[in-house]
A and B are shown apart, each in its own frame.
Chain A
């Protein structure tokens, strides 16, 4: 496909007819004459554009008159010279078919001038897209409402709007033989650790022989340190303000074209449990919600297994009145507690999945039917005990406090593992699971940063933005665990 574009308009038409026009009917050809018929100084122009992606109106109304006027000032020896006299920054010249076709399917208009080698490409794209709006999964009460959209240029611009400085670097990569997905690597030149940027850059460049890249999850898998883990080693966001905030912290952001989700690296477990609102409220409240989220994580992970272990093996861990209530609630339930717990957990996951798959309005109905009607009916029918229902309800609610979706999915899977171990070994099984889980976390790295930092390795100065969040005015240095090039966030640099 990579051959030079010839001088002859006919040859170009034939080539395009054979390679593109015959089977892509959304590519529209057009032709007109440039110059004046009267003085016979004219040239035949033939062009193509991608219907729906090229803004024809702007091409004809703003670019054509410019073209006409430039042509009158001619003559020119080559298309490049023509281009140099054209007062349009979005026009360029392609000499190879390869680049020309890529530009065409990128939404640019191609103009073939008879007698000139090469083709004039005009970037007047107008692809179908939506305007920035509040991202539905990362809502914020006080924060801005312009979330990322499906256009990489807009997304970079949204982030750039918040960091209008040359230190915010933006490097484009193109990945995928067919999809030509553009990926923007954003980082703060004087803040981000150089080795981190180098690592991301080299991993991005190393992605070869890939057909297409359409999902950010695929990119995550291509770039992550460890292949086999349930836990996300990238944070993801749909918010421009969060992207800007993590950039100034010393992290990198990867924006993928056609996706409203940006990837953030390095990510730590504690970071995944933070939300945007933490930074938009008074610090004691932010601290409280963070602690609550940890409690939520812990409850959603181990509450069903603790319930099973306590009722099956360790009745002495329950106060006598609680035990008697649980026993009387369980009376008449035909299944042993572990089986009951499994069934209820599976039902809970079913309802969750059903609620996600259905349209939003119907999903809510399913949620209500699932929790209220079926739960109550199950208790009345003697299929489940009230105690189990309470445990499952608390577990379900706690699961939703985890801000990161991937993390909460990982917790859902682990919950079953915990339950199996609690059924088999009681509290010892739970403790064993926790030990293995913490060991796994401790072994995870996200671009060289430990998943459990700043707890392991221990970094006292980073604690001010982990479980707790101290006053913003006291957070004078950036997280040390990121080993940023510039630690000082506020005040004079300390030597």
Chain B
């Protein structure tokens, strides 16, 4: 053999095993996979219970070759238990006739029982597995999981179209707390001076709304409140009457209605506000002021009233809401408005590295830490003026 032929053979011998024995072993046939879509976990007396929805692809018959995206994709709900969440998952795997994959996993629901105990034991392995992306939507709930997974949603022919699975696509107007992805949640969990907010899924909360399907009342899911954390510990749910301040000063929202009933009658819509937090340090404590600037759209106005008067009333109301939220947060020993973060970043240089605890103590909130809330609104859009004949 000449040198070049020998060289070629060497290449072939080296390349063939590399090409044929690597990589392709984990390839999966398209229709031999089932996809885990949603997972909910609860905990009771050392036992983790997992509910998972698994997507099943409907059979497309020869007569209807149309793509089925709009049609119902039946999902299977599976319950699995184990002494850890991983164990529950591994108990599930052998029972599935198809290979289960996590690549389409979108929603994680953590039950209150788990939140109060070992929720980090679920989050941690979740992020270690390569098939799962840290873009999973994460929710908390107080509803028993079995009930949550038996609900049939209104308007949803396809369970993949629920609000909780694509909150970005199902645009929700009004007083809905924005959903969070797990990377945001974890980032805020590790950040000093801010309390991550976990949207709470609940069923049938708004008392004044009923959905019917053929004269039967339907149950529905809403995001009714948020869970509050402090130092990575779950400390409780925000009271519902203290939620509005979060929307004004922290998360914002799309077309949040604000109803004014006394003494004037009007409705305005508010959008994302500009929030500016400023702080001063005095005697080892930090005091904050919040300045909110935003635009308001007038939606309803019953009498001819002075714009100035109305604006002032709305501003006072919003400032009151923010203050109420702040106090509710302090009652839970948490910083729901993220005030401390501003001071932590701003005054970080004042504190040597080894005095981090000192710094954190200085930004700990007290009921009087928030000194003032000022709101400035501009009327962005008042609609066409329509004068009713007398």
Which residues in A have some Cβ–Cβ distance to B below 8 Å?
A: 311-316, 320-332, 336-338, 379-380, 386, 423-426, 428-429
User: Chain A residues with Cβ under 8 A from B55's Cβ?
Assistant: 320, 324
- Which residue of the partner chain A has the closest CB to B60? A328
Q: What 1/0 mask marks residues of chain B from 42 to 67 whose CB sits below 8 Å from any chain A CB? A: 00000000000001011110100101
Given A315-B33, A316-B103, is A324 in contact with B22 using a C-beta cutoff of 8 Å? Answer: no
- Cβ of B104 and Cβ of A316 under 8 Å apart? yes
Q: Indicate whether B160 reaches chain A with its CB closer than 8 angstroms.
A: yes
- Which residue of the partner chain B has the closest CB to A313? B27
User: Chain B residues with Cβ under 8 A from A315's Cβ?
Assistant: 28, 33, 35, 101, 103-104
- Cβ of B60 and Cβ of A331 under 8 Å apart? yes
In this complex, the member of B27, B62, B106 whose beta carbon has the largest number of chain A beta carbons within 10 angstroms is B27
- Cβ of A429 and Cβ of B23 under 8 Å apart? yes
- Cβ of B30 and Cβ of A327 under 8 Å apart? yes
- Cβ of A316 and Cβ of B29 under 8 Å apart? no
- Cβ of B35 and Cβ of A424 under 8 Å apart? no
User: Chain A residues with Cβ under 8 A from B73's Cβ?
Assistant: 324
Q: Indicate whether B24 reaches chain A with its CB closer than 8 angstroms.
A: yes
Q: Indicate whether B69 reaches chain A with its CB closer than 8 angstroms.
A: yes
**8 Å CB interface, B226-243 against A:** none
- Cβ of B133 and Cβ of A316 under 8 Å apart? yes
- Which residue of the partner chain B has the closest CB to A420? B19
Q: Contacts A316-B133, A327-B30, A424-B19 given; 13 further ones with Cβ under 8 A?
A: A313-B26, A313-B28, A315-B28, A320-B104, A323-B104, A325-B69, A327-B31, A328-B59, A331-B31, A331-B59, A336-B27, A425-B23, A425-B24
Q: How far is the CA of A24 from the CA of B59 in the complex (A)?
A: 75
- Cβ of A328 and Cβ of B68 under 8 Å apart? yes
Q: How far is the CA of A338 from the CA of B27 in the complex (A)?
A: 10
- Cβ of B57 and Cβ of A328 under 8 Å apart? yes
Contact of B23 among A316, A330, A379, A424 (CB under 8 A): A424
- Cβ of B30 and Cβ of A311 under 8 Å apart? yes
Contact of A324 among B19, B23, B69 (CB under 8 A): B69
User: Chain B residues with Cβ under 8 A from A331's Cβ?
Assistant: 31, 57, 59-60
Q: In the complex, how many angstroms separate the beta carbon of A444 from the nearest chain B beta carbon?
A: 22
Q: Indicate whether B131 reaches chain A with its CB closer than 8 angstroms.
A: yes
Interface size class of B (residues with CB under 8 A): 20 to 34
Q: In the complex, how many angstroms separate the beta carbon of A196 from the nearest chain B beta carbon?
A: 34
Cβ-closest 10 pairs across A and B: A316-B103, A321-B69, A312-B27, A325-B67, A315-B103, A425-B23, A330-B30, A328-B60, A327-B57, A328-B57
Q: In the complex, how many angstroms separate the beta carbon of A462 from the nearest chain B beta carbon?
A: 39
Q: In the complex, how many angstroms separate the beta carbon of B108 from the nearest chain A beta carbon?
A: 16
Contact of A325 among B23, B31, B68, B133 (CB under 8 A): B68
User: Chain A residues with Cβ under 8 A from B26's Cβ?
Assistant: 313
Q: How far is the CA of A129 from the CA of B24 in the complex (A)?
A: 57
- Cβ of B35 and Cβ of A423 under 8 Å apart? no
**8 Å CB interface, B252-266 against A:** none
User: Chain A residues with Cβ under 8 A from B22's Cβ?
Assistant: 424-425
Q: How far is the CA of A288 from the CA of B103 in the complex (A)?
A: 36
- Cβ of B31 and Cβ of A330 under 8 Å apart? yes
In this complex, the member of A323, A327, A331, A337 whose beta carbon has the largest number of chain B beta carbons within 10 angstroms is A327
Q: In the complex, how many angstroms separate the beta carbon of B342 from the nearest chain A beta carbon?
A: 37
Q: How far is the CA of A225 from the CA of B26 in the complex (A)?
A: 43
Contact of B24 among A311, A320, A424 (CB under 8 A): A424
User: Chain B residues with Cβ under 8 A from A320's Cβ?
Assistant: 35, 37, 55, 104, 106, 160
Instruction: Give 18 pairs: A residue, B residue, CB < 8 Å, sorted on A.
Output: A312-B28, A314-B103, A315-B104, A316-B131, A320-B35, A320-B37, A320-B104, A320-B106, A321-B160, A327-B57, A330-B30, A330-B31, A331-B57, A337-B29, A379-B65, A424-B19, A424-B23, A429-B23
Q: How far is the CA of A424 from the CA of B19 in the complex (A)?
A: 7
Q: In the complex, how many angstroms separate the beta carbon of B305 from the nearest chain A beta carbon?
A: 49
Q: In the complex, how many angstroms separate the beta carbon of B64 from the nearest chain A beta carbon?
A: 10
Q: In the complex, how many angstroms separate the beta carbon of A427 from the nearest chain B beta carbon?
A: 11
- Cβ of A329 and Cβ of B60 under 8 Å apart? yes
Q: In the complex, how many angstroms separate the beta carbon of B372 from the nearest chain A beta carbon?
A: 47
Q: How far is the CA of A326 from the CA of B29 in the complex (A)?
A: 12
Q: How far is the CA of A328 from the CA of B70 in the complex (A)?
A: 13
- Which residue of the partner chain A has the closest CB to B133? A316
User: Chain A residues with Cβ under 8 A from B60's Cβ?
Assistant: 328-329, 331
User: Chain A residues with Cβ under 8 A from B59's Cβ?
Assistant: 328, 331
- Cβ of A324 and Cβ of B29 under 8 Å apart? no
Q: How far is the CA of A321 from the CA of B55 in the complex (A)?
A: 11
- Which residue of the partner chain B has the closest CB to A426? B23
- Which residue of the partner chain A has the closest CB to B166? A320
Q: How far is the CA of A352 from the CA of B150 in the complex (A)?
A: 54
**8 Å CB interface, B93-143 against A:** 101, 103-104, 106, 131, 133
Q: How far is the CA of A187 from the CA of B29 in the complex (A)?
A: 58
- Cβ of A324 and Cβ of B133 under 8 Å apart? no
- Which residue of the partner chain B has the closest CB to A336? B29
User: Chain B residues with Cβ under 8 A from A316's Cβ?
Assistant: 103-104, 131, 133
User: Chain A residues with Cβ under 8 A from B31's Cβ?
Assistant: 327, 330-332
Q: How far is the CA of A336 from the CA of B101 in the complex (A)?
A: 18
- Cβ of B30 and Cβ of A337 under 8 Å apart? yes
Q: How far is the CA of A316 from the CA of B135 in the complex (A)?
A: 11
Q: How far is the CA of A314 from the CA of B133 in the complex (A)?
A: 12
Q: How far is the CA of A140 from the CA of B243 in the complex (A)?
A: 67
Q: What 1/0 mask marks residues of chain B from 129 to 167 whose CB sits below 8 Å from any chain A CB? A: 001010000000000000000000000000010000000
User: Chain A residues with Cβ under 8 A from B58's Cβ?
Assistant: 328
User: Chain B residues with Cβ under 8 A from A325's Cβ?
Assistant: 67-69
Q: What 1/0 mask marks residues of chain B from 251 to 283 whose CB sits below 8 Å from any chain A CB? A: 000000000000000000000000000000000
User: Chain A residues with Cβ under 8 A from B69's Cβ?
Assistant: 321-322, 324-325
User: Chain B residues with Cβ under 8 A from A336's Cβ?
Assistant: 27, 29
User: Chain A residues with Cβ under 8 A from B37's Cβ?
Assistant: 320
Q: How far is the CA of A331 from the CA of B37 in the complex (A)?
A: 20
User: Chain B residues with Cβ under 8 A from A332's Cβ?
Assistant: 31
User: Chain A residues with Cβ under 8 A from B33's Cβ?
Assistant: 315, 327
Contact of B68 among A324, A428, A429 (CB under 8 A): A324
Q: How far is the CA of A379 from the CA of B27 in the complex (A)?
A: 23
- Cβ of B65 and Cβ of A326 under 8 Å apart? no
Q: In the complex, how many angstroms separate the beta carbon of B134 from the nearest chain A beta carbon?
A: 12
User: Chain A residues with Cβ under 8 A from B106's Cβ?
Assistant: 320
Q: How far is the CA of A425 from the CA of B62 in the complex (A)?
A: 33
User: Chain A residues with Cβ under 8 A from B133's Cβ?
Assistant: 316
Q: How far is the CA of A338 from the CA of B29 in the complex (A)?
A: 9
Q: In the complex, how many angstroms separate the beta carbon of B357 from the nearest chain A beta carbon?
A: 41
User: Chain B residues with Cβ under 8 A from A330's Cβ?
Assistant: 30-31
Q: How far is the CA of A188 from the CA of B69 in the complex (A)?
A: 61
Q: In the complex, how many angstroms separate the beta carbon of B132 from the nearest chain A beta carbon?
A: 9
Q: In the complex, how many angstroms separate the beta carbon of B156 from the nearest chain A beta carbon?
A: 14
Q: What 1/0 mask marks residues of chain B from 7 to 25 whose CB sits below 8 Å from any chain A CB? A: 0000000000001101110
- Which residue of the partner chain A has the closest CB to B18? A424
User: Chain A residues with Cβ under 8 A from B20's Cβ?
Assistant: 424
- Cβ of A386 and Cβ of B103 under 8 Å apart? no
- Which residue of the partner chain A has the closest CB to B102? A316
- Cβ of A386 and Cβ of B65 under 8 Å apart? yes
Q: In the complex, how many angstroms separate the beta carbon of B46 from the nearest chain A beta carbon?
A: 33
Q: In the complex, how many angstroms separate the beta carbon of A72 from the nearest chain B beta carbon?
A: 74
Q: In the complex, how many angstroms separate the beta carbon of B135 from the nearest chain A beta carbon?
A: 10
Q: How far is the CA of A321 from the CA of B23 in the complex (A)?
A: 27
- Which residue of the partner chain B has the closest CB to A322? B69
User: Chain B residues with Cβ under 8 A from A321's Cβ?
Assistant: 69, 160
User: Chain B residues with Cβ under 8 A from A326's Cβ?
Assistant: 30
- Which residue of the partner chain A has the closest CB to B24? A424
Q: In the complex, how many angstroms separate the beta carbon of A492 from the nearest chain B beta carbon?
A: 55
